[in-house]
Structure 1
Amino acid sequence: MYKVFYVFAIVLICGCNGPSEKIPVHAWMGGPGKATDQEILDQFTNLKSKGIDALMYNGGHNPATYERVGKIAHQAGLKFHAWIPAMIQGYSEKMDSSWYAVNGEGHSALTDPAYVPYYTFLCPNREGVYHFLEQLYVSVARVKDIDGIHLDYIRFPDVILARGLWDKYGLVMDREYPEFDYCYCDSCVADFKEKTGINILEVDDPSEVKEWKQFRYDLITSIVNRLAEAVHNEGKEISAAVFPGPASVAKKIVRQEWDKWNLDAFYPMNYNDFYLEEPRWVGNVTLEGVEALNGKGRLYSGLFICPNPHEKQNEQDPENHGLTPEQLEVAIKVSMENGASGICLFTPGRMTEKHWEVFSRVISNYHIADE
């Protein structure tokens, strides 16, 4: 009788914090470069031992690369998702120059990309663009050792940059400027006029036209959901890296209304330093995303790692900022407390020894809250 009472007492004491469980951890990374199979296996085995469960892996467009690396990932005990950008594509014989998005000044993203040279965004309103992407993702989804497709850059260019990036690019983005506002190609302008009767080229301030915003949200949503159906038809999962929100950030600056996307999982890039926010902000946007999805799909909180924590205060480039080891602990905890299914690291290669030490302790001893 004493033993029964003793066990019952332990259950009561431990139950107040819920059972302990390892936090699911995914990670973005690229490769394989010139690495041998053994070098890849050693790298993946090491990541698995440190607590990584799945990779969002950028290996280009060739299905053979994913066949090779996916087999090694599974050998190491990792889930393996092909991480392939969507709307950003360099020009090649497979592309048509008319497929690229056009800004409010009439300039093509192919010849005059915003911010950086690689911002060669396609227009989601072109049927040729959809078929190019469908062929790409389906060909990779058919690889046996692929567990899923992970979309990236599935959006318009940033009409307003995250506040932490303004100084880097010498910009003050207090409103939507035509130079960074897409897409005003012939197809988008004509289709919007047919749908609403509004010629957006004759509007003094297009940013005030709610229908114009919704039109572009819907263009991205449509192409995502068509791709989702195609990938699901191959029996594979599909997910996407998205901006935080969706309402607070993603819709406003990159036209992503991602709570309407038919995906299995969502990976908001909750990079607090880009928005001049403290790590606890990660919990706020995680909760926003979880509530917006309302059970529609899993949400993994994307965390941006600081590669040189001791130099963070002196680092001028915000893209070399990120979470210090102490901040990583806070970000993981507030992500899980606010309903995330897990976290995703950008990237394992940026993690210091101290990061891994804190990370290991936090993910291994997370207590599930009582229902």
Structure 2
Amino acid sequence: MGNLLNRGNVGMIMSCILLSVFMVSCNGGHKEEKETALLEKEESGPFKFWTWITADASRTDDSYVEEFAKYADNGIDAVLINTYTDPELLARLTPLALGMGLEVHAWMFTMNRPGDKIAEQHPEWYAVSRDGKSCYDEPPYVGYYKWLCPTRKESREHILSLVEGLSKVDGVASVHLDYIRYSDIFLPIGLLPKYNLQQEVEQPTYDFCYCEVCTSTFEKMHHKNPNDFDNPAIDMEWKNFRLNRVKAVVDASYEIAHKNGKKLTAAVFPYPEMADHMVRQRWDKWNIDAVLPMIYNQFYNEEIDWIGYATGQGVTDLEKRNVELHTGIYVPDMQPEELLSAMKYAQKNGAKGVSFFDGPAITEAQWKMIKDFKESKAK
């Protein structure tokens, strides 16, 4: 998200973590919990290493073979490839990665669809803020925030058709949903100065979706209209309505992926309670096979041990669910020793693996730390 970091588009750096801090990243609130972050939740079994990458169709096959070989040689087990939902490009790259011994996961931008030529022909598909601004022509925060409405039949079916196309590619292990949420209600505390913002309460500009389809559907169900609320933030039915709209897209994607012999995975916010509050995303209630929470401590002004805290929160919320959690780690600006600590905190707090954003950003010193840690676990 290029600080509204977008994982992987031209001019964008990364995805999905515009989170708020409301105030989980406040100093103090979880100090005691952080001090006990290294809980002995570590379980037996293999510890998996993933990385995200963005594809470029103009690159040669040989260049990809070289990149995939580097990942495999340094301990990576799985690669999440963003092909901008192009199944043909995914079909071209998948056998190259498989040939290097890597799993392949089809990473897709889900509710946020920048550059989607089909969606752009339908302005009515886009999410609308409480103050009446559509993401089609007035996106929040940054220009690539092109969020679709999860309730409208046509936009929902378009998204599911993209899941269908990716899930039919031979050799792919999962369809990996990113941006599977609403636009950020709050930004991470570390990003607020960049945008000269203060966000202590929900603001109309960042509160979605108030399109006619959403509000009328809700009114039929609950006999009240969100446009009439003095304080929409405290209406639990309205909040749950939107949580369930996202869940419905995930659950339908799960059915499609499994029908085609694939799993469903997702990049999500650090832990369910935080995701719920920040972006209407309650991922512990989804039908899904694995989640990769992006526990990017730098964006919340948190120390490395917060990775253990947030991992443990997610693992606890997934208890008795057949869903794996693999901790997402943001490697830029992270010292190799910090990366080692991050991996240890994730494993000690119950993660089944770690994923690094992103592959091309990993330094040689970091690769050595990853490889050494992987080899130490194999002994």
Q: Shared fold (TM-score greater than 0.5)? A: yes
Please give the secondary structure, in 2, of the residue aligned with 1:302: strand
Residue 58 (structure 2) pairs with residue 31 (structure 1)? no
The percentage of counterpart residues that share the same residue type is 35
Match of 1:277 in 2: 302
Q: Aligned-pair distance for 1:32?
A: 3.0
Cα contact 1:25–1:342 (8 A) shared by 2: yes
1:76 is aligned with what amino acid? Answer: M
Which one has a bigger Cα radius of gyration? 1
Aligned equivalent of 1:144? 170
CA offset digits 1:226-256 (Å, max 9, x no partner): 1111111111111000001111x20011110
What is the alpha-carbon distance in structure 2 between the residues aligned to residue 221 and residue 192 of structure 1? Answer: 16
**Matched residue, 2:27:** none
TM, length-normalised to structure 1: 0.87
Structure 1: 5+ residue stretches without partners: 1-17, 310-322
Is 1:108 matched up with 2:134? yes
More helix by share: 1
Alignment of 1:1-371 (within 5 A): 23-89=47-113, 90-94=115-119, 95-247=121-273, 249-294=274-319, 295-306=321-332, 309=333, 323-366=334-377
CA contact (8 A) 2:190 2:300 kept: yes
* In 2: Cα distance, 1:62 partner to 1:351 partner: 26
Report the secondary structure of 1:225's partner residue.
helix
**CA distance in 1 between partners of 2:342 and 2:231 (Å):** 39
- Size of the alignment, in residue pairs? 335
Q: TM-score, normalised by structure 2?
A: 0.85
Q: Secondary structure at the match of 2:107?
A: strand
Distance 2:86 2:371 in 1: 34
Structure 1 SS opposite 2:367: helix
Gaps of 5+ in 2: 1-41
Contact 2:57 2:89 in 1 (8 A): no
Could you tell me how far apart the structure 2 residues matched to 1:52 and 1:366 are?
13
* CA displacement at 1:61 relative to structure 2: 2.3
- For the residues of structure 2 that align with 1:297 and 1:19, how far apart are their CA atoms? 15
Report the residue type matching 2:61 in the other structure.
Answer: D
Superposed displacement of residue 35, structure 1:
1.7
Q: Distance in 2 between the 1:63 and 1:52 partners? A: 23
Shift in Å at residue 22 of structure 1? 6.1
Deviates more, 1:139-148 or 1:331-340: 139-148
Q: Do the aligned residues in 2 keep the contact of 1:21 with 1:367 (CA within 8 Å)?
A: no
Native 8 Å contact 1:26 1:55 kept in 2: yes
CA contact (8 A) 1:243 1:250 kept: yes
1:3 matched to which residue of 2?
Answer: none
